[in-house]
Amino acid sequence: MHDHRRLGRELDLFDTDPLMGAGLPYWLPDGATLRHALEEYIREAERGAGYRHVHSPVLGKRELYEISGHWDHYSEDMFPPMDLGGGEQLVLRPSLCPHHALIYRSRSHSYRELPFRMAELGGMYRSELSGVLGGLTRVRAIHLNDAHVFCTLDQAVDEARAALELIARAYADLGIRAVRHRLSLPSAAQEGGAGGGKYVADPELWRRATALLHEVLDASGIPYEAAEGEAAFYGPKIDVQIADPAGREATLSTVQIDFHQPERFDLHYIGPDGARHRPVMVHRSIIGSVERAVAHLIEQHGGAFPVWLAPVQLVILPVSDAQTEQAERLLHQALGQGLRAELAGPGQGTLGARIRAARLVPYQAVIGEREAAAEADGGRAAVRLRDGRKPGAVPAAELITRIAARAKARGPELWDGR
């Protein structure tokens, strides 16, 4: 059974230090490479879906979270305010929603601009108790793949459905399987959001949002279960559940339809009648937090990541020092084509030891005397695949082209069979 905490340290992906603090992992070079590849994929997918990216600070005035409702309903999970004197207090943000509401509010919007899709991969902070912290799944510094769609009421269901489709495509590319979809509702004692501390007290708001999410799920044809007590404080949500190798469930992705924040921040757009209208706010996260997503990917793949995510995609193995020049030439060609490649020379051990050390790398290119002598082909390499297959000697240019094609395709296949 794969444990991301053990594998993460064995593979030099991430670690922690007591001087940095519990729940504050740092990323080593290979882990940072994996993380950046994931972030680039998400941003590319969002751009293709019509999202525009913003960047906002991780701090905000306490008043900001009083307006949003976080201070009244979520302050136990927030870090204490920092007093700057003169009555000014700053808070590490527990969520990106209030910042995005302010960004939307900063400009006038016409109905012709809607839906306005705003995305950010931004930091936020939760004051988690030390006893619940662990690895990358429960941390205090979170980098959330967050987005908010500001739209008309008529557009909300289609936008939420499109978000679910975007999540499904990302899971397919990442090799992630959703174990179930959950419609997260308030607790039975506060049905309809009757208030009492945990939830916003506005029964009509809850009724409308819940009805729309039912419509989204039904229209998508996705089986789902209702779960009481799992809603956000401001509204119901669709949670996409994943499971670790031990069968423990966690929420990775979410979709929400929110009437509360637009009301609290007095958001509006100018309709075709020239009057001000209130937009609906669709919250959407494709992969949730980068930390939890990477933890799941480590456990799901056991460190043998898909080609496009692998920290090292190609390792080049000269059999002896005599082939080092050809190996370096292949390395420069691979790097020049944007591949993540490394050279593991004889100084790092016997060929067998180097092959074993690179067992999780998708492609190994062994260069011996015969391969180095094939100058007519621009050099060749004996290819070994991570799954144990040995396609044989391949011209260097063809090898690089094949690997680049597999990375671009983002599929599970390592070789196309030719």
pLDDT of residue 68: 94
Mean pLDDT, to the nearest integer, of 225-230? 90
Strands 249-258 and 269-270 turn out to be unpaired
What pLDDT sits at residue 183?
Answer: 95
Q: Count CA atoms within 13 Å of residue 21 on its CB side.
A: 9
Q: Kindly tell me if the per-residue pLDDT of 194 is higher than 90.
A: no
Task: In whole angstroms, give the CA distance from residue 400 to residue 52.
Answer: 33
Helix axes 153-174, 29-48, angle to 10 degrees: 140
Binned at pLDDT 50, 70 and 90, residue 2 comes out as confident
What is the DSSP secondary structure assignment for residue 373, as one 8-state letter? T
Residue with tokens 């490394």: 342
- Contact predicate 254/285, CB 8 Å: yes
State residue 195's pLDDT score. 44
Pairing type for strands 363-367 and 280-285 reads unpaired
Q: Are 366 and 354 contacting, i.e. CB atoms less than 8 angstroms apart?
A: no
Residues 164, 177 contacting (CB under 8 angstroms): no
Region 351-358: what's the mean pLDDT?
95
Quick one: average pLDDT of 341-353? 96
Tokens 């067992």 correspond to what residue?
Answer: 359
H or E stretch covering 263: helix 260-264
Please tell me what DSSP assigns to residue 232: B
Q: Are 359 and 386 in contact (CB under 8 A)?
A: yes
* Contact call for residues 241 and 182 (beta carbons, < 8 A): yes
Separation of alpha carbons 106 and 286, rounded Å:
26
Q: How confident is the model at residue 203 (pLDDT cuts 50, 70, 90)?
A: confident
- Cα 84 to chain centroid distance, Å, stands at 34
Task: Give the tens place of pLDDT for each residue, 276-330.
Answer: 999 999 999 999 999 999 999 999 999 999 999 999 999 999 999 999 999 999 9
Written in H, E and C, the secondary structure of 50-100 is CCEECCCCCEEEHHHHHHHCHHHHHHHHCCCCEEEECCEEEEECCCCHHHH
* pLDDT of 152 over the 80 cut: yes
For tokens 């933890």, name the residue: 295
Please report, for residues 143, 242, 244, 251, the alpha-carbon distance to residue 288 in angstroms, rounded to integers and kept in the order given: 9, 11, 15, 8
Print burial letters for 309-341: b (CB count within 10 Å at least 16), e (below 16).
bbbbbbbbbbbeeebbebbebbbebbeeeebbb
Long-range contacts, stretch 105-114, CB < 8 angstroms, 24+ apart? 105/265, 105/266, 105/267, 108/270, 109/150, 109/268, 109/269, 109/270, 109/279, 110/269, 110/270, 111/152, 111/269, 111/270, 111/271, 111/272, 111/277, 113/269, 114/150, 114/151, 114/152, 114/155, 114/269, 114/279
What was the pLDDT predicted at 1?
67
The CA distance from 48 to 50, in Å, is 6
Q: Do residues 267 and 150 touch, judged by C-beta distance below 8 A?
A: yes
| pLDDT score at 188 | 66
The percent of residues above 90 in pLDDT, for the chain, comes to: 82
- Asked if the model's pLDDT at residue 189 lies above 60, the reply is no
**Per-residue confidence (pLDDT) for residue 412, from 0 to 100:** 83
Flag the least confident range among 56-60, 171-175, 377-381: 377-381
End-to-end CA distance of the chain: 34
* pLDDT score recorded for residue 192: 46
CB 254 within 8 A of CB 240: yes
| pLDDT value of position 197 | 58
> Given a cut of 50, is residue 193 above it in pLDDT?
no
**Are the CB atoms for 259 and 279 separated by under 8 Å?**
no
pLDDT greater than 70 at residue 117: yes
Give the lowest-confidence range in 215-219, 368-372, 397-401: 368-372
- Is there a contact between 185 and 237 (Cβ–Cβ < 8 Å)? no
pLDDT of residue 416: 77
Dist CA 38 CA 24 (whole Å): 20
pLDDT of residue 212: 95
User: What would the mean pLDDT of 102-113 be, rounded to a whole number?
Assistant: 98
